[in-house]
A = this chain, B = another copy of it.
Amino acid sequence: MLKVGVIGTGMIGQDHIRRLTTMLNGVAVTAVADVDTAVAAEVGARIGAAVRATGEEVVADPDVDAVLVCSWGPTHEQYVLAAIAAGKPVFCEKPLATTQGACLRILEAEVAYGSRLVQVGYMRRFDVAYRALKLALDSGEIGLPLMMHCAHRNPSVPGHYRGDMAITDTAVHEIDMVRWMFGTEVGAVRVLVPRHSRNGGDLQDPLLLILEMADGVIVDVEISVNIRYGYDIRGEIVAENGTATLGGPASVAVRRDGWEGIPVPADWRERFLQAYDVELQEWVHAISLGGQPLGPSAWDGYAAAVVSDAGVDALRTGERVVISMAEQPKLYQEAAR
């Protein structure tokens, strides 16, 4: 039974706690903390976990084997570093940290520790459809990949959503996904700005992101965040001899009113519900068996930050931005695929 401490008991923290305590195998939540101590107290009481004053105390708790960081983004660095310092595995919700510098400090700490402790919460790698897509590609049945067409569509975004977030919060999932899918880094990025959707008010929406992978694969990503009809994630890999397309989660088809159709998910929770379960279950299993985490690494978190930042530059300047990354430490070279 892996004993997990959870730092941050807001929406995503509580969702993970629900998962850990009622859905997953071999894990218990033994300690929690939150900047809002009342919420932490309520959650801790409900699940029978100790309530600690700070994230650092959660990390230090001898009854905590591993740490889940679900707090506000700018605090991720300090808690991840604390976990590394304590030699405890840490699952950090995305982003790994809010600046490239902070990501680099985490990389350094983990490299100094000598083996992987950090996993970052990019859940698409655990989605059954993305895994089937990667399997189809890796089988070789369609040849080498040449392009990928993606769409990331939200029905709407909250009022505080600003232009850069289309890259840093939304497209960042595709940025992580393509690095994993193709096993290579992003070399350059462009952002094209199509006609403006009136649904978005002042927000520049949609965008067309163009990622050039280091091996020449070109990925186009449509980002539409106010498209009303639903939450829709699309992807098609174009290879030398054929294509492979991300399947959908269609459980039922209905014919009525002159129409034959399938429902589109309402939001990302519905679409990726199961991927989150798999993500954490596999993490629990890997850590419990005494091994390193197998999911997205601190390097993946750093790379996502670098490419996102370049994407924001590309959006602001209208130019093609070449990606410049730190040298990849040896520790992560195996984990690249």
Contact = CB atoms under 8 A, between A and B. Distances in A.
Chain multiplicity (copies) = 4
Contacts of A247: 250-253, 262
Chain A interface extent, by class: 35 or more
B197 A135 contact: no
A253 to B, nearest CB: 4
A263 to B, nearest CB: 6
B206 A224 contact: no
Nearest to A149: B149
A165 interface: no
A326 interface: no
A216 B245 contact: no
Contact of A258 (B151, B208, B264, B281): B264
A257 interface: yes
A258 B254 contact: no
A2 interface: no
Given A195-B145, A210-B192, A220-B220, A229 B256 contact: yes
A250 B248 CA distance: 7
Interface stretch (A53-61, A106-114, A234-242): A234-242
A26 interface: yes
Interface string A25-42: 110000000000000000
A252 B25 contact: no
Contacts of A25: 21-25
A243 B255 contact: yes
A200 to B, nearest CB: 9
Nearest to A257: B229
11 contacts: A22-B26, A128-B251, A133-B252, A147-B195, A192-B212, A196-B216, A227-B240, A229-B243, A241-B256, A242-B254, A247-B251
Interface of A: 21-26, 128-129, 131-133, 135-136, 141-147, 149, 151, 192, 194-199, 206, 208, 210, 212-213, 215-218, 220, 222, 224, 226-230, 232, 238, 240-248, 250-264, 266, 281, 285
Given A244-B253, A261-B261, 6 more contacts: A143-B197, A220-B220, A229-B257, A245-B252, A247-B250, A259-B259
